[in-house]
Structure 1
Amino acid sequence: MQQNSRRLHPIIWFVISLAVVGILYQLTTSPRDFFTTILIGAAVVAVFYFIFRRTSSGVNGKYRKAVKQSQKRYGSNQKPPKASPLFPNKKTAKSSAQKKRTREHHLTVIEGKKNKKKNRASF
């Protein structure tokens, strides 16, 4: 029995319709209380949003720190690759090979679960 993903269960429609009726009733009978309730609810949601956003920024914070270190080390502007000539000189080919060896990589290690693999093999 497959249902279309866009169709909602009749009980869901009933709950939504009751919510709309309740909101309209409160808006017509006491609009001041309605807006007070809406503002308090928005404030509570904002507090939870900022609390969870601040606590979950640990992983993103480490990534941002690594990006900043990389930009300091290599500069923020990435240069486009130069077009190589059809017949390069041997001297330039050797010097570029030496530059490749001595060039530092631009990867930064971010702390993670490094000891998980070690414990897996020991029985």
Structure 2
Amino acid sequence: MLNARNILVFTLLFLAILGLGSWLIENPLGLLRNILVTAAVIGIIYFIYRRWFSKRRGAGSTEQRAFLKAAKQSKKRLKKKSTTAKSHRPTVSQLSKKRSHRKKSSANLTVIEGKKNKKNNRASF
């Protein structure tokens, strides 16, 4: 079932396709030039928009740069680990030496009793 809005949209699309087709037949270089100029204007507007808003955000761009830097470092570290793991496999004694040098966590963790299974004595409304 077509309503008035759908009929209007289809009519506009049909007229646009008809106009582009006739323009393509009559003046193909003019159509190509018009499309290129439109694409260039849109590209310039997009470039200015991205530049202007990336400076205005401030903290967001520095966070993004920090994230990208950390990602690069992580990739380098994983790459080094994969190359060293393939060429040199540590023995059991070397693994035990590495484990002994680890620091123990100094965090004092305590368990807080919850009230999950206790019933509430509230008045029902």
Q: Which has the higher contact order (CA 8 A, sep 6+)?
A: 1
> Bigger radius of gyration, 1 or 2?
2
